[in-house]
Amino acid sequence: MNPLELTLGIMTAVGGFVDISQLVFSGQAGSKFGYVLISAFAISTIGIMVFSEMCGRVAAVAHQPVFSLMRHRLGLKLGLFTLIFSFLSTLITCAAEIGGLGMILNHLTGAPYAVMCIASTLVLMASMWVLPFKWIERTYGLLGLFMVVFVVAVVAIHPPWPKVIGGFVPQVPQGLSTKEMLSFSYFVVAILSAVMFPYEAYFYSSGGIEEGWGAKDLLTNRVTSIVGMGLGTLLSIAIVALAAQLFAPANVAPQIPGSVALQAAIPFGKPGLLLALLGMLFAVAGAAVETCMANAYSVSQFFGWEWGRHSKPWDAPRFTIAWIAVMLVALLIVLTGVEVMSLVEYSIVFSIVVLPLSYFPLMLLANDKSYMGQYANKWLAKGLGWLFFGFVTIAAIAAIPLYLLTSGG
């Protein structure tokens, strides 16, 4: 197996986990609740590993991406409802990523935020136009690995390792008031939503088809989903641990990406800050591309259009128009002046509502022996799949009341 084949998983995970919402959100989770929420990241990661492996397997064996399955299994009306909700949540997420890019470039260059948003959108669109899928995933996947500086920073600050490891055990912190308890619950639901963002599944399954996966690639799929998603979680957990160690004692709750980047500056000074900002820049750029393409994939697959960036943009014209339109509308949303963190909160709440509808048809098809033959879900994938389907359904029911009760945490 060529190690470069892992880049689809790395881009999906780095762009999916360590996008602008996770950057700030992980920092806030660590500063508010210490190491306790590490377990929420770890458990959700098992969920996204299970579902992304399933997505990739279905793509490789049945050659069907998630949105085609959704239309077929949910039918036109419910499928359309899911399409509209997931499109809106992914569009808002894409806008948040562009806003995040503007903020990071503003930190790096000092140039005005709006100008940086416009410039970064144009660069992203140019890269999506020029580069074929394989190079898009390699460029953003590999450059996002600058984020590893956060993992090195955790080691460098010598955190209390027993507490970090203890964070992997699910627990509810003692002595919380009702308000704090609601806020803790909101964080748990939001982490589950952010780690299992539906656009990751749309992107990953479509990416598998873009790469021409077949049954021979099932090992690549399994390794990619476990290593890629595992890496994404490692980066998020590193940010939680850094925030718990560096920000919590000082009662600092990071609200912008720049505060999160400071976590690498404390042990490594200016080079650490620069590496952190570059890593964040490429990870967030990857997330912007991923969300934009995920929306274009969804619409194209739902209506049966030609799709994919393995072919030239003019060979899949409606798909091309769709991703250009998504990127431009996302930029317009940012230019209205809406706060990036508000966009992040909306996208998390919207996403959790469509999560069960995204993963249910996938489970049905992956269980179906008439489509999947010998590659249908076995007991482990089936058991874990239904377990996490239960989790996301409960989270979907709880998300909006918790959001309203806690004003977004």
Partner 1 sequence: MDPFGHLKIVSQLLDVPIIDKDERSCGIVDDIELGGSAGKEMRVEALLVGPGAYKGRMPKWMYWLVRKIAGNRMVRVPAKAVVEIGSVVKLNVCGEDLGLHQAEDKAAGWIPRWGAM
Token digits of residue 351:
């996403």
| Residue count of the chain | 409
From the CA atom positions of the chain, what is the Rg in Å?
Answer: 20
* Residue 305 sits in the site that holds partner 1 (CB under 8 A): yes
* Residue 179 sits in the site that holds partner 1 (CB under 8 A): no
User: Which segment (242-250, 276-284, 310-318, 376-384) binds partner 1 by CB under 8 A?
Assistant: 310-318
Closer by beta carbon to partner 1, 223 or else 364: 364
* C-alpha distance across the termini of the chain, in Å: 43
Write down the residue that tokens 């950057």 correspond to.
23
Write down the least CB distance from residue 294 to partner 1, Å.
18
One DSSP character per residue, 388-406 reads HHHHHHHHHHHHHHHHHHH
Write down the least CB distance from residue 360 to partner 1, Å.
15
Cα–Cα distances in angstroms (integers) from residue 406 to residues 44, 196, 201, 355, in the given order: 22, 22, 29, 21
Closer by beta carbon to partner 1, 318 or else 378: 318
- Answer for which of 118, 119, 131, 248 binds partner 1 (CB under 8 A) is 131
Using CA atoms, how far apart are residues 209 and 308, in angstroms rounded to an integer?
9
- Answer for which of 314, 336, 337, 380 binds partner 1 (CB under 8 A) is 314
Cα–Cα distances in angstroms (integers) from residue 73 to residues 30, 70, 278, 281, in the given order: 40, 5, 42, 38
Is the separation of the CB atoms in 198 and 48 below 8 Å? no
Phi, psi of 368 (to 5 degrees): -80, 110
Write down the least CB distance from residue 73 to partner 1, Å.
8
Closer by beta carbon to partner 1, 8 or else 276: 8
Which of positions 264-283 make contact with partner 1 (CB under 8 A)? none
One DSSP character per residue, 21-62 reads HHHHHHHHHHHHHTTTTHHHHHHHHHHHHHHHHHHHHHHHHT
Using CA atoms, how far apart are residues 365 and 369, in angstroms rounded to an integer?
8
* Residue 122 sits in the site that holds partner 1 (CB under 8 A): no
Write down the least CB distance from residue 223 to partner 1, Å.
25
Which of positions 48-87 make contact with partner 1 (CB under 8 A)? 62-64, 68, 71-72, 75-77, 79-80
Closer by beta carbon to partner 1, 302 or else 350: 302
Which of positions 365-394 make contact with partner 1 (CB under 8 A)? 371
Closer by beta carbon to partner 1, 96 or else 128: 128
Which of positions 133-172 make contact with partner 1 (CB under 8 A)? 135
Closer by beta carbon to partner 1, 42 or else 321: 321
Closer by beta carbon to partner 1, 63 or else 179: 63
Write down the least CB distance from residue 139 to partner 1, Å.
12
Here the contacts of 136-139 (C-beta below 8 Å, separation 24 or greater) are 136/11, 136/289, 136/309, 137/7, 137/8, 137/11, 137/207, 138/4, 138/7, 138/11
Closer by beta carbon to partner 1, 35 or else 67: 67
Closer by beta carbon to partner 1, 55 or else 240: 55
* Residue 317 sits in the site that holds partner 1 (CB under 8 A): yes
Using CA atoms, how far apart are residues 124 and 126, in angstroms rounded to an integer?
5
The number of residues that bind partner 1 (CB under 8 A) is 31
Closer by beta carbon to partner 1, 238 or else 322: 322
* Residue 245 sits in the site that holds partner 1 (CB under 8 A): no
Cα–Cα distances in angstroms (integers) from residue 42 to residues 168, 183, 234, 237, 366, in the given order: 7, 19, 9, 8, 24
Write down the least CB distance from residue 295 to partner 1, Å.
16
Burial class (CB in 10 A: 0-12, 13-18, 19+), 101: buried
* Residue 107 sits in the site that holds partner 1 (CB under 8 A): no
User: Which segment (15-23, 307-315, 347-355, 401-409) binds partner 1 by CB under 8 A?
Assistant: 307-315
- Answer for which of 307, 346, 350, 359 binds partner 1 (CB under 8 A) is 307
User: Which segment (29-37, 204-212, 217-225, 299-307) binds partner 1 by CB under 8 A?
Assistant: 299-307
Is the separation of the CB atoms in 365 and 327 below 8 Å? no
Phi, psi of 281 (to 5 degrees): -60, -50
* Residue 313 sits in the site that holds partner 1 (CB under 8 A): yes
Cα–Cα distances in angstroms (integers) from residue 102 to residues 6, 98, 328, in the given order: 29, 6, 15
Instruction: Using CB under 8 A, list all residues that contact partner 1.
Output: 62-64, 68, 71-72, 75-77, 79-80, 129-132, 135, 301-307, 312-314, 317-318, 320-321, 371
